[in-house]
Amino acid sequence: MTHFQENNGNDRPDDRALVRAAKGGDLAAFEELVKRHERRIYGLARRMTGAEHEAQDVTQQTFLSAVKNLAGFREAAAFSTWLTAIAANAALKMARKRGGLPTSSLDEALEPDGDGHVPHPEYIADWRESPDRLALRAETHRLLDDAIAGLGTGQRAVFLLRDVEGLSVRDTARALEISEASVKVRLLRARMQLREKLTRMFGNESRRYKPGAHAHASGHAPKEKTHG
């Protein structure tokens, strides 16, 4: 008999109630948590690893690790955030195992890109609203997934945790075991690369980032040509 039916306004137990019941040995409660989060965790793993069989392995490892370490889970944090961190770590370990991500690359130096500067945030301030609009069409959603898959492993992990899963900078840094500054820089670069790729796909020249455009963004308007 299960004992996790707490009232949350819609007769559906919330994660916290299920976690408490699962900690008490209620297998049905943990099975409900798996059903509730399995699809999302698989989607994250699929995007991080780029391979279906690896995503399945990561998903399985995530829930095995969760049930093994459930007693140590502090309920002050959201269960979904904790589970996402486990999945991200499992995916990154798998990437290292197959040689897709050197161990030393996770806390990369905060250096400018090869063109001599870090992209400016003013060019990507409205990124969050774009995926929602683009995902309205299946084909565009596929193109977005392809663009995300084209990111480097470290940038892809940060982007997925921050902009797709909605983790905070702090939680993302903890999940990936990198500094908060590294999270911010990687996210900036990932957003910029995705903006460029999607701009090329949809041909909106006015949205395209141009290396020399930072002068205009800083408030210096281009000089008008004089005719005389």
Give the residue with greater pLDDT, 53 vs 107.
53
In a domain, 122, yes or no: no
Lowest mean pLDDT of 49-58, 191-200, 213-222, name the range. 213-222
Angle 169-176/79-97 helices, nearest 10 degrees? 40
Mean pLDDT of 210-215: 42
pLDDT digits (tens, 9 = 90+) for 148-206: 888 888 899 999 999 999 999 999 999 999 999 999 999 999 999 998 888 887 765 44
| Integer Cα distance of 214 and 188 in angstroms | 15
Is the same domain home to 186 and 142?
A: yes
CATH of the domain at 154: 1.10.10.10
Q: Locate tokens 């020249």: which residue?
A: 205
pTM for the full model?
0.66
In a domain, 223, yes or no: no
pLDDT digits (tens, 9 = 90+) for 3-30: 545 545 556 789 999 999 999 999 999 9
> Range of 202's domain?
135-207
Output the CA angle 138-143-202, nearest 5 degrees: 100
Residue 196 host element (H or E) = helix 180-202
CATH of the domain at 56: 1.10.1740.10
| Structure token digits, residue 21 | 């019941």
pLDDT digits (tens, 9 = 90+) for 61-98: 999 999 999 999 987 889 999 999 999 999 988 877 77
In a domain, 56, yes or no: yes
| Residue-level pLDDT at 127 | 47
pLDDT digits (tens, 9 = 90+) for 111-152: 334 443 434 443 334 445 455 554 455 666 777 888 888 888
| Integer Cα distance of 22 and 73 in angstroms | 11
Reduce the secondary structure of 131-156 to three states and give it as a string.
HHHHCCCHHHHHHHHHHHHCCCHHHH
Mean pLDDT estimate for the chain: 75
In a domain, 60, yes or no: yes
In a domain, 6, yes or no: no
Domain count, the chain: 2
Q: Who contacts 58 (Cβ-Cβ below 8 Å, separation ≥6)? A: 41, 45, 48, 49, 87, 90, 91, 94
In a domain, 225, yes or no: no
Is the same domain home to 79 and 148?
A: no
